Amino acid sequence: MDNGRAMKVLLCAPRGFCAGVDRAIQIVEIALERFGAPVYVRHEIVHNRYVVQSLEDKGAVFVEELEEIEADDRPVIFSAHGVPKEVEADAAARNLFFLDATCPLVSKVHREAEIHHKRGRHILLIGHAGHPEVVGTMGQLPEGTVELIETVRDVARLDVPDPANLAWISQTTLSVDDTKAIVSALNERFPAIVGPHKDDICYATTNRQEAVKAVAADCDAMIIVGAPNSSNSQRLREVALSAGCPRAQLIQRASEIDVESYDGVATLGITAGASAPEELVEEVLDRFAARFSLTLESARTADETIVFPLPRLLRDTAKPEKAVAG
């Protein structure tokens, strides 16, 4: 071990779990406590393999589709990303007992989409094709009534049925800056377009990106703890690079880091996506501490106090120490 090399570590805050992720994990854990194993979960409850594995160890069984569930008498939980209405209808038709762990901020976007549809507006959804949240949001309404756009270039190619009856909504985990550019292009091309009363990008996504922006230019490199299929984690890496950090690496576990390659790094920034638990950040710090003499500094840009209630059925089962924290 050689920890004589000095390294300053800027720990971004807020980082890691958001209230929606914390709530979703609690729903699975409390369902297991109350109903016993197995409890089925459609899709990864959140995009983090470490979290999924820990819940599997407790008795959760993850499936991609309801058809994979063999025992119709066991609870089924829908992931934090939300599901199309046809999935809920299928579950109801099979008399499955299901719990919805959809993040309330994603549910807010679903409600916005329904309101726009009732008012006769064609809906443009800013998001990433194939992401579970996008699939779930588009699945709230009849096919063809919601159109996906991913880039500013897509705006120029749009052929909408009625420019006077348009609305836009967005995935909650996008890059704040990229989304602003797309919205600006939409407003320029379609002046009558209606947007959300409050930005659809969630508070946690925004806060974590702002924390990265605040330190990126001061860092020689940044580590983002998160999963490759996590949209908000991928956006943190992109934001770090665009905000002036010359090197940013997205990792799931500390074992993926080649610590020797960081020998020339004087200041390292570390953050974590909204689905990554703090123990994985501590794991990263331990790995660097084995080679470097670390000086830790917290770089906090916001305080988070948002709380999301659990589903009514599970509230009396929750333990006080498991209160959802933002």
pLDDT digit string (tens) for 244-263? Answer: 999 999 999 999 999 999 99
> What's the predicted TM-score (pTM) here?
0.92
The pLDDT value given to residue 198: 82
**What integer is the mean pLDDT of 203-223?**
97
**Cβ burial, residue 211 (10 Å; 0-12/13-18/19+):** buried
| Residue 237, pLDDT above cutoff 80 | yes
Tokens of 223: 């580590």
What is the Cα–Cα distance from 187 to 154, expressed in whole angstroms? 14
pLDDT at 322: 38
| Residue 288 · residue 258 · CB < 8 Å | no
Percentage of the chain modeled with pLDDT above 90:
91
User: What one-character DSSP code corresponds to residue 14?
Assistant: S
Give exposure, 30-44, as e/b (b: 16+ Cβ within 10 Å): bbbeebeebbbbbbb
Query: What domains appear along the chain, each with residue ranges and CATH number?
Result: 5-17+203-300 (3.40.1010.20), 19-103 (3.40.50.11270), 105-189 (3.40.1010.20)
pLDDT greater than 90 at residue 316: no
CA quadruple 19, 23, 29, 30: dihedral sign: positive
Q: Which residues contact 284 (CB under 8 A, 6 or more apart)?
A: 223, 225, 251, 254, 257, 270
The order of strands in the sheet holding 221-225 is 248-251, 221-225, 267-272, 5-13, 292-300
Q: Is the pLDDT of residue 74 over 70?
A: yes
Confidence of residue 131 (pLDDT cuts 50, 70, 90): very high
Q: How confident is the model at residue 326 (pLDDT cuts 50, 70, 90)?
A: very low
* Residue 127: both structure tokens together: 């998001």
* Nearest by Cα to 109 from 222, 20, 233: 20
Give catalytic residue positions: 133
Phi and psi based region of residue 63 (left: phi greater than 0; alpha: psi -120 to 50; beta: remaining): beta
Angle (CA) 69-276-173 rounded to 5° is 85
The answer to which of 192-201, 207-216, 269-278 has the lowest mean pLDDT is 192-201
- Paired with 194 in beta bridges are 167
| pLDDT given at position 2 | 54
Average pLDDT, the chain: 94
Per-residue pLDDT, averaged over 288-297, amounts to 97
Q: Which of 2-6, 8-12, 19-23, 134-138 has the lowest mean pLDDT?
A: 2-6
> Which amino acid appears at position 218 of this protein?
D
Structure confidence at residue 315 as a pLDDT band (50, 70, 90): confident
Give the distance, in angstroms, between the CA of residue 113 and the centroid of all CA atoms in the same chain.
Answer: 20
